[in-house]
Amino acid sequence: MATTHHLDRGTVHREWNNALPPRLTIDPGDTVVFDTRDAADGYYSTKSTHADVLARGPFRGHPLTGPVAVRDARPGDVLTVEIIDVKPFLNIWDLTAETHARMGRDLRVRVPIAPFPGVMGVALDEPGGHSTMPPRKNGGNMDIKQLVAGTTLLLPVWVDGALFSVGDAHAAQGDGEVCVTAIEMMAQVTLRFGLEARRGFREPRFRTRGPISSALERGPCYVTTAHGPDLFAGAQNAIRYMIEHLVEERGLSREEAYILCSVAVDLKISEIVDAPNWIVSAFLPETVFA
């Protein structure tokens, strides 16, 4: 019979390491409610300033809740992770409206909340500790905003038991997370686990419950484009043009505009077939302005 378990945020780890002992062992079909810390591990508060950012020190790894071992999981299997619920906790953005986040002093800016875990992954099949910063074949810091409640993540298993962990929850994020930070939050993440034997995936996949168009896209958008042979440079330029627009047309500071791009603007590869130049587009949903 399927069981529901709970893991608190009192104990975390900050690296992918298959030598870490599991905090919990479950059966396929079980559900786990994870309490997670925010990416900064509670360092910031509503009174934090730019000086606090400078004083924080080097990144030590995302604080992750786990690992969780799944009985009978073996290398070559696929761990299915059904995202049941993601509940936000304290955040520097104003989340009191529950459906939208408001940006600081500019109460015109309202970003719809669509919470998801930025980091979900299993242990790697390589010894030693590995940084949680980049995404990898085990999942990790993917920051895919479509991994919301209703989506099922499919993770290749690399070690016995899989050793799954989760953290770095976001209340909202644009595709690209261009200034490194989304609307960060502590969260309670409820996940149901399954196991598909011998699927042999090389990298993560996922299945959404419905169309991927978010609430941010249901309305008019302002779009900037950039061309060139380098997609990363194109993405940078498209965001630079969007920052210019937000400063000139909406009266935001450049810093506020950059932050808004990270949490609400979606980068898209519009065309990648007409060499030598490709097109990157940045979509700003104008519904974020009240």
Using CA atoms, how far apart are residues 166 and 76, in angstroms rounded to an integer? 21
Q: What is the pLDDT of residue 1?
A: 81
Bridge partners of 173? Answer: none
pLDDT tens digit sequence for 68-90: 999 999 999 999 999 999 988 75
Q: What is the pLDDT of residue 215?
A: 46
CB 149 within 8 A of CB 86: yes
Using CA atoms, how far apart are residues 71 and 128, in angstroms rounded to an integer? 23
Query: Domains along the chain?
Result: 4-200 (2.60.120.580), 215-288 (3.10.28.20)
Using CA atoms, how far apart are residues 105 and 9, in angstroms rounded to an integer? 31
The HSE-up count of residue 231 (CA atoms within 13 Å, CB side) is: 9
> Which stretches of the chain score pLDDT less than 70?
42-46, 48-50, 52-55, 57, 90-98, 101-107, 213-218
- Percent of the chain's residues with pLDDT above 90: 70
pLDDT tens digit sequence for 15-63: 999 999 999 999 999 999 999 998 877 666 667 666 766 667 677 899 9
pTM for the full predicted model:
0.87
Bridge partners of 4? Answer: 31
Rg, Å, the chain Cα set: 20
